Amino acid sequence: MTAAPAESQLLVDAVDSLRGAVAETSLPLPLAGRDQAEENRIALLRQLDDYVLPRLRALDAPLLAVVGGSTGAGKSTLVNSLVGAQVSRTGVIRPTTTRPVLVHHPDDAHWFADDRILPGLARVTGAETAEAQPGTVRLVRSTALPPGMALLDAPDIDSVVQANRELAGQLLAAADLWLFVTTAARYADAVPWDLLRTASERGTAVAIILDRVPPEAVEEIRPHLVSMLREQGLSTAPVFSIPESTLTTQGHLPQEAMARLKAWLDALASDTRARSIVVSQTLRGAIASLGDRTSRLAEAAHEQRTAQDGLRRAIDEEFERAHREVKDGMTDGTLLRGEVLARWQEFVGTGEFFRQVETTIGKWRDRLTAAVKGAPAPAANLGEALQSGVAALVTSHGESAVHESVRDLRRLPGGEGILGRRADLSTGSPGFRDRVDRLVRDWQGEIFDMVRSEGGNRRTNARVAAYGVNGIGLFLMLVSFAHTGGLTGAEVGIAGGTSVLAQRVLEAIFGDQAVREMAARARKALLARVDDLYAAERARFQDAITEAGNVDDAAERLDRAAQAVAEAAR
């Protein structure tokens, strides 16, 4: 096999890089137009693999002419007649050609035995079998064909079998030359002309074979077909008419019926320069088409990126909102209502204590001290109430973030596909509430450790001991949640009294600056733990989006690769 000339290596490398960018492009989200874009991506990848790269790397390889056309056009009969042997199965049952057959001169066998072209199809040899072998191409040697040209009989372009239609399109995209077979009755059908327009847009070399033409209709049909070809930009495509004929005993067309076509093919095969012109035309057209085709794929990749970014942003916003609401809930006084207020009243005494709030702070502290020393204070109840309140705050906003994230995925483009793959996203992760409870307990333990650490000297230790580490720790939690913006009516007075009393006791022990710092540290420590908890929940959604496929910079990579091909081609 002859390698590409040195001056072509830059183009080979650029096209190879483009091929890598196309192969790595993922379109995972079920957006509008995604299926069409994915079909185009696969078709582009196949043409790069099946034709552009193999041809660039072996410019002197034999010309490959693919015989294509509609059901019943007589493609297999034509191929058998050209090579004078039954190499492709014919018959009235459709489709007859279910496996492509590639006929070549024995001297050209080395060009087709490996996966230089059509690497996705395995090679088989030997006689045709009744049972098709999907994913294969049968190689047939024939001296009836001159060296330098091979014929490939493709399945019907309008086959009732979808796999056959797809394979026919793939094989035509791998051709240097289309031998497009149609009939007098079907030459104006829509499906063939859709493909012929594609050939025209890509500059593919085409020859039209008008088969089974009644002799009396040749002068009427041929000019009309030529006119249609001219309208589609295929005015240079030669047209060969094969009259309606009686087949030979071998099932072949009479030699005189296809004499003009065979002479043209033989001349093309034997003329190196003529072959080079055909190959160059198709190769240039294929390379020139890469820019627009890649641009369309890049646009689809960009839409994927935009949708994916929208999903990620929505998830982030839901959990950031949950963070803010927990932060606000820690400082707006709402944690000091209800059960916490009742347990605080238990802790410091009876309701009579709160009727004394007009007295001095010193009296509050004295009564509190007496209450604590005179009877065992139910600190555990207050601690549990605080723990339940904090846990409810964290749980509520965390579960709300999950619920709203699911709603966002359902309403935003591409999100339903994520939910379809990950049903576990519809609820919080297993054990979420247990983790919240453990988080609050650990935070309370951190507060108690802070109290022990701050009570470093003997005098302070003595004051802490008067109330107990847990009691002082509970006071610090209350002060951390002391703002009363979320309370109304009598609750404001009670919560306010609670916070002032707790703060004055703490200030008497640690000093006012230390208390402010300790309260800020306590809030910061709790919020940090909450952030870690929410981050794990958010990561489930973000990971599910990532798992669907990486589209981060696919559009940019495709655009750069296509630009490099265009520059190298110039």
Q: Give tens-digit pLDDT for 217-248.
A: 888 899 999 999 999 999 999 999 999 989 99
Report pLDDT for 421.
86
- Candidates 169, 25, 16; CA nearest to 551 is 25
Q: What is the mean pLDDT of residues 316-336?
A: 88
Please name the amino acid found at residue 509: I
Report pLDDT for 433.
94
Report pLDDT for 426.
84
Token pair 């149609």 is at which residue?
182
**Per-residue pLDDT tens over the stretch 331-355:** 777 676 666 666 666 666 544 333 3
For the beta sheet containing 101-104, the strands, ordered from the edge strand earlier in sequence to the opposite edge, are 122-124, 136-141, 101-104, 149-153, 63-69, 177-183, 205-213, 239-243
Report pLDDT for 267.
92
Give the mean pLDDT of the chain.
84
The first and second tokens of residue 529, run together, are: 């733990």
Residue 483 above 80 pLDDT? no
- 8 Å CB contact between 554 and 306: no
- Candidates 47, 186, 195, 163; CA nearest to 97 is 163
- 8 Å CB contact between 535 and 439: no
Helix (H, G, I), strand (E, B) or coil at 19: helix
The first and second tokens of residue 389, run together, are: 């309140």
Residue 373 CA to residue 471 CA, distance in Å, equals 12
Residue 558 CA to residue 570 CA, distance in Å, equals 19
Q: CATH 3.40.50.300 residue ranges in the chain?
A: 62-270
Residue 86 above 70 pLDDT? yes
Q: How confident is the model at residue 512 (pLDDT cuts 50, 70, 90)?
A: confident
Report pLDDT for 187.
85
Q: How confident is the model at residue 112 (pLDDT cuts 50, 70, 90)?
A: very high
- Candidates 436, 451, 460; CA nearest to 526 is 436
Report pLDDT for 459.
59
Q: What is the mean pLDDT of residues 506-528?
A: 87
Residue 327 CA to residue 331 CA, distance in Å, equals 7
If one compares 406 and 466, the residue with the highest pLDDT of the two is 406
The mean-pLDDT minimum among 105-109, 380-384, 504-508 falls in 380-384
The first and second tokens of residue 277, run together, are: 């012109």
Q: State the helix-helix crossing angle for 272-331 and 379-411, rounded to 10 degrees.
A: 150
Q: How confident is the model at residue 412 (pLDDT cuts 50, 70, 90)?
A: very high
**Per-residue pLDDT tens over the stretch 137-146:** 999 999 999 9
Burial of 513 (0-12, 13-18, 19+ CB in 10 A): exposed
Distance set, CA 48 to CA 5, 19, 54, 179, 253 (Å): 19, 7, 8, 21, 36
The first and second tokens of residue 546, run together, are: 């990532």
- Calculate ∠ Cα 301-174-48, nearest 5°: 35
Q: How confident is the model at residue 115 (pLDDT cuts 50, 70, 90)?
A: confident
Residue 95 above 90 pLDDT? no
Give the chain's largest Cα–Cα span.
125
Report pLDDT for 494.
45
- 8 Å CB contact between 104 and 142: yes
Report pLDDT for 341.
65
Q: What is the DSSP letter of 326?
A: H
Token pair 């500059």 is at which residue?
203
Q: How confident is the model at residue 359 (pLDDT cuts 50, 70, 90)?
A: very low
The mean-pLDDT minimum among 81-95, 372-386, 470-484 falls in 372-386
- Candidates 401, 400, 393, 398; CA nearest to 329 is 393
Q: What is the mean pLDDT of residues 423-432?
A: 88
Helix (H) or strand (E) holding 67: strand 63-69
Spatial neighbors of 566 by CB under 8 A, at least 6 apart, are: 291
Q: Is the pTM of this model over 0.85?
A: no
The first and second tokens of residue 426, run together, are: 């519809």
Residue 360 above 60 pLDDT? no
Residues 150, 156, 157, 159: what is their CA dihedral angle, to the nearest 10 degrees? -160
Q: What is the CATH number of domain 62-270?
A: 3.40.50.300
- The number of beta carbons lying within 10 Å of the beta carbon of residue 7 is 7
The first and second tokens of residue 327, run together, are: 């932060």
Buried b / exposed e across 165-175, counting CB within 10 Å, b at 16+? bbbbbbbbbbb
